[in-house]
């Protein structure tokens, strides 16, 4: 099963995206901070990471760069609260199914 990491401090936003991804057969790991995300990257293997555009204590683009240094094969997506959840899920599906290059 393909694993996806969601990094978002807002629990309701994180859980809504997680439910949508789980409905498509993904294993979802949730991180409520950049620190938790880096720990998860260190401990696991992920197909992609969805990062909230606004994080406390760390810029989302900085976190993206750190993830790429640790795991260059992992695709990252910085998203905002207004982004279409279905479109985010489609991105993960395309990577999993080989439609999009990871």
The domain spans of the chain are 3-96
Tokens of 90: 């489609």
pLDDT exceeds 90 at position 101: no
Spatial separation of the C-alpha atoms in residues 14 and 8, rounded to whole Å: 6
Q: CATH number of the domain at 3-96, please?
A: 3.40.50.2300
CA distance 96 to 24: 11
**What global pTM score does this model have?**
0.93
Q: What is the C-alpha separation between 32 and 67, in angstroms, rounded?
A: 15
Helix (H, G, I), strand (E, B) or coil at 89: helix
Confidence of residue 102 (pLDDT cuts 50, 70, 90): very low
State the pLDDT at residue 10.
95
- Please write the tens of the pLDDT for every residue from 7-30: 999 999 999 999 999 999 999 999
CA distance 80 to 3: 21
């Amino acid at each position: 099963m393909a694993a996806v990491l969601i990094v978002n401090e807002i629990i309701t936003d994180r859980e809504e995206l997680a439910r949508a991804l789980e409905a498509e057969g993904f294993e979802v790991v949730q991180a409520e901070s950049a620190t938790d995300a880096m720990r998860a990257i260190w401990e696991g293997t992920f197909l992609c990471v969805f990062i909230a555009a606004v994080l406390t204590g760390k810029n989302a683009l900085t976190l993206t760069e750190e993830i790429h240094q640790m795991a260059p094969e992992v695709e990252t997506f910085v998203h905002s609260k207004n982004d279409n959840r279905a479109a985010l899920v489609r991105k993960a599906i395309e990577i999993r199914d080989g439609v999009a290059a990871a």
